[in-house]
Structure 1
Amino acid sequence: MTTSAQATALACLDDIQPSLSAWTRTIFDFGETAWREYQSAAWYVERLKHEGFSVEEGSGGMATAFCAHWTNGAGPTIGMYAEYDAVPGNCQDAAPVKRPRPGLGEQAGGHTDPHSGLGIASLGGLLATKAAMQRHGIPGTLRFTGEPAEKVRGSKPIHAAKGYYDGLAGMISFHPFYMLPLCNTARWDTHCGAAYAMIYRFVCDEPENWVRASDGAPIPQAHSAVRAPGANDALMMMYMASKALRDSMLPHQGGWSISEAILTAGQATADNLPAGLAEIQYMIRVPTLAMAEQVTAVLDRNAKAAAKMSGCRHERHWVSKSRPGLANHAMADIAYEALSTVGPPRWDEAAKAIAREIQVNAGGTATDEPFIAEMEQLTAPRDAEAILRRDLPPSQLNSTSDDYTDISWHTPTARFYVARPALRSDSSQAYASWAMNALGGISATIDPMVTCAAKTIALAALRLLEDNGARNAAMDEFVARTGGGIGGSNWLAPLCDYEPPIHFRWPEYVTTPRGRDWWIPSNPQAA
């Protein structure tokens, strides 16, 4: 059963569905990556202002973040958020064939899981909730944050430390399905784990101290002369040492991972000069903070040794220090009840025809039912939890990675998932990533997820606004789990003690006399 306000919200979403579809494609086509989502953030800010929200741009000191508010009088404050960062090297057009978006190469950014749909679904839920509050005189406030750089778990630890989640009665967190059994369900006990991310910067700014020429020749000198190894060498030694020692960092359990990305190296000189600057980022995804600290200690030692061996100095700059998630069963129930009321997303024959075309173009065989069956099935949170726990040790409390976890220490938080299109394979066929990325951009295949998630968010938000008992139960559970709420005996305080890492060489789009392109030219032969 839905309330009158919830019925209004559902009708609103039916009315604005064409807009949600167009907006999803707009953000998909921007394809902007972590810390450089300028067009995407600006689009949301303009849209929210148009809808009557007051908006703080650049919230938390992050140029591509924002925080929006709308109030209908004194009452509880409900939180929702948008993510909109894409992934470098995943540029794919919204088309059933492998090709980058027009004017770009495959190395440009592209949405993978896709945050383009995540953000617009949340925006749709927000607007529908607002419409219902206005029509039915429901008091309260809506807070909507723009969260850049989720792929490096960037913004939410910073927003959390600066108070942007304080004072909320509840937060509704949605993500597209990305792994089974987390499809059309809500997290129960096992929420995402901790993560640390940092940049090690190697600087060779005193190469003259590497060796002193006996003839007094200045630096630089002949191409055959000895010189300091420099920052590139330091980075490579860091890279190889950390790969070699990975088995000696943590026990072989828990599903942890360490990923790296080289941000800057070499400045493209082929002269006999030592590279002056090189930077490598590490992302440590682990169940516990203690594991993150242990890996960091090893990486710190490696960086120190690599710098010493190559005539450099080194610096460590934080990108993320993110807490593991805190469960809230009352919020999980609210989200899943809303999802059950809406029902799982459904894909029509037009969407299936597109999926079959992609199956063939990706080297597979078209099937009568091209999508996996789980996409149109609900999974109760307890059932999903039981499946998730089968491969985890009983002592492990958290698994997988996302930075919504930082919000969960400031307000009761629901984390739910809605199916996004995923291809069925009746053989051993492994589909290339472009196929999944394309399905996330084509309106016929991604709109069912967006619509379902938006309706679920609106129903859950209105439940929190209208049902004092449900809202109080969620807060009581939050207080109990934290040992007294914010500042309680079991509460984890924000870990962010660093400035937003926005000034590094993050991949981005650039404009030159050749036009707008990815920072790696799309057509090197013509560059």
Structure 2
Amino acid sequence: MTPAQETALAFVEQARPDLSAWTRTIFDFGETAWREYQSAAWYVETLKREGFFVEVGSGGMPTAFCAHWTNKGDGGAGPTIGMYAEYDAVPGNCQDATTVRRPRPGLSEHAGGHTDPHSGLGISSLGALLATKTAMERHGLSGTLRFTGEPAEKVRGSKPIHAAKGYYDGLDGMISFHPFYMLPLCNTVRWDTHCGAAYSMIYRFVCDQPELWMKTASDGAPIPQSHSAPRAPGANDALMTMYMASKALRDSMLPHQGGWSISEAILTAGQATADNLPAGLAEIQYMIRVPTVAMAEQVTAVLDSNAEAAARMTGCRFERHWVSKSRPGLANHAMARIAWDALETVGAPRWSDAGKAVAREIQSNCGVEPMAEPLLDECERLIPPQDAEAILRRDLPPSQINSTSDDYTDMSWHAPTARIYVARPALKAPKGFTYPSWAMNALGGIAETIDPMVVCAAKNVALTALRLIEDAPAREAARAEFIERTGGGIGGERWTAPLCDYEPPIHFRWPEYVTTPRGRDWWIPTPANA
């Protein structure tokens, strides 16, 4: 370990109280996709206070940012290393940082809450960023740190847009950390099988002239007595036709092998103002998670056809608006080895007796007999990337190159990228038992259970960043592999260009917190007796 790396580890240790408090701050904000106003502002203010130049609203996204800091050091310009924060929560998962099922004070369970948790993800990376900066200053290391704020990850929102607008260009390495969320990817680094493509779009049905649906004789009155307009199918019927047609065709859209999924969400337009008018506007959002772009295009063609048919059947027109078009990931073994070396140096997170006591209390409140060791054994041990890869491949057909979905993949086409997983706390369960979602969410907000992950991940990302800055041969090996895999780097013959050809979809009715005469509330009002 180099002196600079030792400095970074010491910084993280000293910053434990701040990292803990910051994680709880973002957890309590609980803001969802495209509406993370407080969370983004908190990051921007913190980064400016730490000496970073910050572009607010990067890529045309109000809750995104891009921060830079450069140290001249003793060796010229030096490399540029990328890290990032995510901070969007999920609607309908409002959970307080406590061992019982309870929403955060003053809110209903329908409000936003952190599940992965992105609150810990972002603060882990921020802690690593500040540790790396401190080490660079103290030891005279040349280089630039670039830190992006990535809103709306749950809908694969910002990274395809940032990628298309050049925010990942010029990086010598990108470090992507995510809390462990599925075995065997716990305390390890992705090797060959990176995440796949994801397309998300909103189909909007608009009934412009319902009065033309039925031709009737007019007696000259301004409102025909037959009230023909209410008989028009309208936008809701178009939406339901689209919904059912796509459900019926779902199993035949793609081959019956490999991992892929389509999910939908009906967006509330809020146009119910009269009982004798058909809906003039209805929207449905689809998310397609598939291994390849070709598969995503195939499903999109079917959905387009369904939308056109539904619109024709109901006297409507339809619009398709993109939310996301993200590419599948690109592996880089050299980057994975660098990150794995850091993980082996830091080790897996360890939970104290206090943290395990919290876990047992949650088990008890879920009706489970508390266990002496309540957390999964995998949470406190490492698994080499190649071993995790072999387990992951057991359930995948040989032809499937990518699996699951996450938009860090867009970064991997612009810089050598490592995808790191550090264990978040996860409870052991009796055979046949599944914990309710609130239990996992609570573990992500309680300091005794989430802090070990935050500290461990911050150390690991910082060591990875400093290795890239200090070890030119390792950095050059990662760059050479990136050039080889893309057939020449950005623009090479095997390089996949950004798919984003749309503006940020920030204008839709995304769920959010609102200020009313009753105070700050979720868009679905909190019950009076909450």
TM-score normalised to structure 2 length: 0.97
Encode CA deviations 1:130-150: one digit per residue, 9 max, x unaligned.
Answer: 000000000000000000000
8 A contact 2:206–2:235 mirrored in 1: yes
Alpha-carbon distance between aligned partners in 1 of 2:215 and 2:268, rounded to the nearest angstrom: 28
Which residue matches 1:69?
68
Structure 1 segments of 4+ aligned residues over 2 angstroms from their partners: 215-227
Residues 221 and 181 of structure 1: CA distance in aligned 2, closer, same or farther (over 3 Å): farther
Pairwise CA distance, 1:207: 1.1
Secondary structure (helix, strand or coil) at the match of 1:370 reads: coil
8 A contact 1:266–1:275 mirrored in 2: no
Q: Which amino acid aligns with 2:264?
A: E
8 A contact 1:323–1:495 mirrored in 2: yes
Which residue matches 2:338?
334
Within 5 Å, which residues of 2 pair with 1:387-406? 387-406=391-410
Residues 220 and 488 of structure 1: CA distance in aligned 2, closer, same or farther (over 3 Å): farther
Which residue matches 2:109?
106
Which residue matches 1:436?
440
Secondary structure (helix, strand or coil) at the match of 2:184 reads: coil
Which residue matches 1:344?
348
Aligned-pair Cα RMSD in Å: 1.3
Q: Which amino acid aligns with 2:496?
A: L
Alpha-carbon distance between aligned partners in 1 of 2:226 and 2:46, rounded to the nearest angstrom: 59
Q: Which amino acid aligns with 1:20?
A: L
Q: Which amino acid aligns with 1:49?
A: K
Encode CA deviations 1:186-208: one digit per residue, 9 max, x unaligned.
Answer: 00000000010000000111112
Alpha-carbon distance between aligned partners in 2 of 1:122 and 1:479, rounded to the nearest angstrom: 26
8 A contact 1:266–1:278 mirrored in 2: no
Residues 499 and 374 of structure 1: CA distance in aligned 2, closer, same or farther (over 3 Å): same
> Is 1:288 the counterpart of 2:283 in the alignment?
no
Alpha-carbon distance between aligned partners in 1 of 2:409 and 2:212, rounded to the nearest angstrom: 47
Alpha-carbon distance between aligned partners in 2 of 1:247 and 1:363, rounded to the nearest angstrom: 37
Of the three residues 229, 250, 254, the one matched with 1:250 is 254
Q: How many residues align?
A: 525
Which residue matches 2:126?
123
Encode CA deviations 1:289-330: one digit per residue, 9 max, x unaligned.
Answer: 010000000100111111111111100000001000000000
Secondary structure (helix, strand or coil) at the match of 1:268 reads: coil
> Is 1:214 the counterpart of 2:217 in the alignment?
yes
Alpha-carbon distance between aligned partners in 1 of 2:166 and 2:229, rounded to the nearest angstrom: 56
Which residue matches 2:373?
369
Q: Which amino acid aligns with 1:489?
A: E
8 A contact 2:214–2:229 mirrored in 1: no
Residues 222 and 421 of structure 1: CA distance in aligned 2, closer, same or farther (over 3 Å): farther
Pairwise CA distance, 1:268: 2.5
Q: Which amino acid aligns with 1:22?
A: A
Alpha-carbon distance between aligned partners in 1 of 2:332 and 2:404, rounded to the nearest angstrom: 17
> Is 1:145 the counterpart of 2:148 in the alignment?
yes
8 A contact 1:67–1:144 mirrored in 2: yes
> Is 1:485 the counterpart of 2:485 in the alignment?
no
8 A contact 2:218–2:224 mirrored in 1: no
Encode CA deviations 1:247-276: one digit per residue, 9 max, x unaligned.
Answer: 111111121000111112452345110111
Which residue matches 1:23?
22
Secondary structure (helix, strand or coil) at the match of 2:268 reads: strand
Q: Which amino acid aligns with 1:429?
A: F
Pairwise CA distance, 1:363: 2.0
Pairwise CA distance, 1:30: 0.3
Q: Which amino acid aligns with 1:476?
A: A
Pairwise CA distance, 1:429: 1.6
Encode CA deviations 1:453-498: one digit per residue, 9 max, x unaligned.
Answer: 0000000000000000000000000000000000000000001000
Within 5 Å, which residues of 2 pair with 1:83-482? 83-216=86-219, 218-219=222-223, 227-265=231-269, 267-482=271-486
Q: Which amino acid aligns with 1:367?
A: M
8 A contact 1:84–1:116 mirrored in 2: yes
Which moves more between the two structures, 119-128 or 423-432? 423-432
Which moves more between the two structures, 26-35 or 426-435? 426-435
Secondary structure (helix, strand or coil) at the match of 2:514 reads: strand
5+ residue gaps, structure 2: none
Secondary structure (helix, strand or coil) at the match of 1:157 reads: helix
Residues 247 and 90 of structure 1: CA distance in aligned 2, closer, same or farther (over 3 Å): same
Alpha-carbon distance between aligned partners in 2 of 1:220 and 1:83, rounded to the nearest angstrom: 54
Secondary structure (helix, strand or coil) at the match of 1:459 reads: helix
Residues 310 and 14 of structure 1: CA distance in aligned 2, closer, same or farther (over 3 Å): same
Alpha-carbon distance between aligned partners in 2 of 1:38 and 1:189, rounded to the nearest angstrom: 36
Q: Which amino acid aligns with 2:312?
A: K
8 A contact 2:214–2:228 mirrored in 1: no
Residues 392 and 222 of structure 1: CA distance in aligned 2, closer, same or farther (over 3 Å): same
Pairwise CA distance, 1:360: 1.1
5+ residue gaps, structure 1: none
Encode CA deviations 1:435-468: one digit per residue, 9 max, x unaligned.
Answer: 0000000000000000000000000000000000
8 A contact 1:154–1:320 mirrored in 2: yes
Pairwise CA distance, 1:222: 6.0
Which moves more between the two structures, 213-222 or 447-456? 213-222
Pairwise CA distance, 1:32: 0.4
Which residue matches 1:504?
508
Secondary structure (helix, strand or coil) at the match of 1:70 reads: strand
Secondary structure (helix, strand or coil) at the match of 1:401 reads: coil
Alpha-carbon distance between aligned partners in 2 of 1:25 and 1:222, rounded to the nearest angstrom: 59
Pairwise CA distance, 1:14: 0.6
Identity of aligned residues (%): 80
Q: Which amino acid aligns with 2:411?
A: I
Q: Which amino acid aligns with 1:319?
A: V
Secondary structure (helix, strand or coil) at the match of 2:450 reads: helix
Pairwise CA distance, 1:522: 1.4
8 A contact 1:158–1:496 mirrored in 2: yes
Which residue matches 2:521?
517
8 A contact 2:230–2:278 mirrored in 1: no
Residues 221 and 467 of structure 1: CA distance in aligned 2, closer, same or farther (over 3 Å): farther
Alpha-carbon distance between aligned partners in 2 of 1:326 and 1:221, rounded to the nearest angstrom: 64
Which residue matches 1:43?
42
Pairwise CA distance, 1:99: 0.3
Residues 69 and 297 of structure 1: CA distance in aligned 2, closer, same or farther (over 3 Å): same
TM-score normalised to structure 1 length: 0.98
Pairwise CA distance, 1:525: 7.7
Alpha-carbon distance between aligned partners in 2 of 1:443 and 1:72, rounded to the nearest angstrom: 33
Q: Which amino acid aligns with 1:355?
A: A
Pairwise CA distance, 1:227: 2.5
Alpha-carbon distance between aligned partners in 2 of 1:294 and 1:150, rounded to the nearest angstrom: 23
Pairwise CA distance, 1:220: 7.1
Alpha-carbon distance between aligned partners in 1 of 2:125 and 2:230, rounded to the nearest angstrom: 59
Residues 332 and 239 of structure 1: CA distance in aligned 2, closer, same or farther (over 3 Å): same
Pairwise CA distance, 1:224: 8.3
